[in-house]
Amino acid sequence: MGLDYEQDCSVNKGRFPGAREPGAGVKNLVLASLFLAALYGCSGGGGFLPSGPHSMDPLALHRLVANASVRNGVSANLISSVIDAESGGDPSAVSRAGAAGLMQLMPDTALQYGATNRFDPFANVDAGSRYLRDLLNRYHHNVSLALAAYNAGPGAVDAARGIPSFPETRAYVSRITAALRTN
Pairwise CA distance, residues 159 & 22, whole Å:
53
Pairwise CA distance, residues 172 & 155, whole Å:
17
Pairwise CA distance, residues 172 & 165, whole Å:
12
What length is written for the chain?
183
Say if CB 179 and CB 84 are below 8 A apart.
yes
Say if CB 48 and CB 36 are below 8 A apart.
no
List, in order, residues 6 or more apart from 64 with CB less than 8 Å away. 56, 121, 122, 125
Pairwise CA distance, residues 15 & 65, whole Å:
54
Does the active-site annotation cover 168?
no
User: 6, 21, 86, 168: which one is catalytic?
Assistant: 86
From the list 137, 147, 138, the residue with the least C-alpha distance to 169 is 147
Which residues are known to be catalytic?
Answer: 86
